[in-house]
Structure 1
Amino acid sequence: MRADPDLATAYAACRLINAEHGRTYFLATRLLPPHRRPAVHALYGFARLADEIVDSPGPDPAAALDALENDLHAAFLGAYAHPVLAALADTVDRFAIDPGLFDVFLKSMRMDLTVTDYPDLDALAEYTHGSAGVIGLMMLPVLGTVGPRADAEPAAAALGEAFQLTNFLRDVGEDLDRGRVYLPADHLAAFGVDRERLAATRAVGGDRRVRRAIAHLVAHTRAVYRRAVPGIALLDPVARPCVDTAARLYAGILDEIASADYDVLTRRAVVSRRRRLAVAAPGLARCLLARVRTPGPGPGA
């Protein structure tokens, strides 16, 4: 990070956003070498800006997303309308992240303004690739790889999508309250479930068909993790404990859903602080060992 007081303030703002809104993600990020953490906070901060536009929309969220995209492109040229964008532009420059990935991300964010249901997994996959898969691709240059980056890209995208699918399962009730269902309609229908049944279960609970459908989608999401996790071995050794811990923590949300008998409509699955720390502690030990073996640049933030 450049020795620029304004830039340092911008990165600090991103760190606060990450700490406040992404506790699991933030905890895993603490396992990265200090000089890489600010870049992850900047990426998270930008994603949060877009999320807030679509999840807490003002009078014209489409115009707000257009303005964010214009401000983003201006930031890449050196004009900063928001401190998060200043940090993001610096991160993109320092780690040579493909700027086009942000346009793909914003395309998915625009889908949230008009699309409220997904007929099948293919349709949902288009959304999750843009909303989460590309986040994995943005992260790769920050994390580093032991071989060609292209070899690690499929697993990185899959892990981002696994995280997103986990969030969808955790947040079914909250998303339904916003008028959205991020579960494939054909898979729900196989268990006799539709939007109306989800809404009724949200109100009174206790529907076995809904629980069976959620159990099926939890199993599908675990399969996505199984495709993604082997890619962790392709990362720079100092980054592996961070990503492995994040994967374990997010997969832990699926464990909590299963422990609650797949009730995601009257309760929200949360990994306890005790479990988060228990998962993170071995990651910290692996992280310290990797840093001894693979020394990097000195602390930067």
Structure 2
Amino acid sequence: MSIDEAFATAEQVTRSEARNFYYGIRLLPVRKRQGLCALYALARRIDDIGDEQAPLEQKRAALSLVRKELSDIDSATDPVLAAVAETARRFPVPLDAFDELIDGVEMDLAGASYETFDDLRIYCRCVAGSIGRLCLSIFGNGTDPRAPQFADQLGIALQQTNILRDIREDLLLGRVYLPRAELDEFGVRLQLDDEGTLHDPDARLATYIGFAAERAQHWYELGLRLLPELDHRSAACCAAMSGIYHHLLVRIQANPTVVYDRRMSLPAHEKGRVALTALAKAVLPV
């Protein structure tokens, strides 16, 4: 398989699986788009290992294999890994960020729970801050030495949005990411009613979600400091990807009960509008 075919495989994975991110990725020039698709495709593979229906030891073995493959990635023949290897030759990709992502998936496999937000932040940094730093290696750092920190913070903001959006679905899988100390403080007991909807007779969960959403907004403010450090096309891509999740957060904050009985998402036309707005604001040169 040629390197062009390897990149085509990674882009096909991204186009079919990155329901939110691809709206932004397609705004990039070819080489950056190829690179980001390669990184996404591998990140998706790692994430899917954690979510697949398979014995626990099989999942752990699969993650160990990915770690081994990453340690000798220049010899890879798998198309996605070959595309990542070529991307790492073209851009300063921090390949150890994939190890952090694997660490986060292993936390899920271990059934980790989080007592405080500081504990949860460590998990978010592994599974999402790592992605922010991988993306930054494709975008370019700009001049502010804090750019990797901004990328990390933006990833954490997106992961907090995911957690609030998926409270019900995660509970069905036996996972609770919301910090236990905070749930206790707000008097929240996470459970489903007979219809499979989050049970919240006293609106305590709604109050908590409002609190957590406000905190996530602050993380967006921190992370979006990255945009002025990026070139026009990269800023448009980053704004589109983060903007879709930010729109989800705004809706959740306005009406927390929207996550009680379904997995909330934006319609395709609204995602497209966010991407076009990001592109327009970037004022692309001709």
- TM-score, length basis structure 2: 0.91
Match of 1:190 in 2: 185
Structure 1 vs Structure 2 CA RMSD? 1.9
Match of 2:175 in 1: 180
Aligned pairs (5 A) from 1:35-114 = 35-59=31-55, 60-75=58-73, 77-80=74-77, 82-114=78-110
CA contact (8 A) 2:70 2:95 kept: no
Q: How many residues align?
A: 282
Output the CA distance in 2 between the equivalents of 1:95 and 1:202.
50
Are 1:154 and 2:149 an aligned pair?
Answer: yes
> Residue deviations 1:138-162, cap 9 Å, x none?
11121013315x3211111001111
Output the CA distance in 2 between the equivalents of 1:193 and 1:143.
41
CA contact (8 A) 1:211 1:263 kept: no
CA contact (8 A) 2:7 2:80 kept: yes
CA contact (8 A) 1:146 1:235 kept: yes
Are 1:137 and 2:127 an aligned pair?
Answer: no
- TM-score, length basis structure 1: 0.87
Are 1:128 and 2:124 an aligned pair?
Answer: yes
CA contact (8 A) 1:198 1:210 kept: no
Output the CA distance in 1 between the equivalents of 2:98 and 2:197.
40
CA contact (8 A) 1:152 1:235 kept: no
CA contact (8 A) 1:121 1:184 kept: yes
> Residue deviations 1:174-224, cap 9 Å, x none?
111221111111112121113xx3344882445111111111111111111
Match of 1:119 in 2: 115
* SS at 2:196 equivalent: helix
Are 1:27 and 2:20 an aligned pair?
Answer: no
Match of 2:242 in 1: 247
Aligned pairs (5 A) from 1:258-297 = 258-287=253-282, 289-292=283-286
Identical aligned residues as a percent: 31
Output the CA distance in 2 between the equivalents of 1:167 and 1:140.
20
Output the CA distance in 1 between the equivalents of 2:79 and 2:194.
42
Give structure 2 stretches of 5+ with no counterpart.
Answer: none
CA contact (8 A) 1:50 1:65 kept: yes
> Residue deviations 1:72-93, cap 9 Å, x none?
2222x3233x221111111122
CA contact (8 A) 1:215 1:262 kept: no
Output the CA distance in 2 between the equivalents of 1:15 and 1:37.
8
Distance 1:110 1:101, change over 3 A: same
Distance 1:112 1:206, change over 3 A: closer
Distance 1:199 1:12, change over 3 A: same
* SS at 1:198 equivalent: coil
Kindly provide the amino acid, as one letter, of the partner of residue 176 in structure 2.
V
CA contact (8 A) 1:158 1:225 kept: yes
Q: 2:4 aligns with which of 8, 14, 17?
A: 8
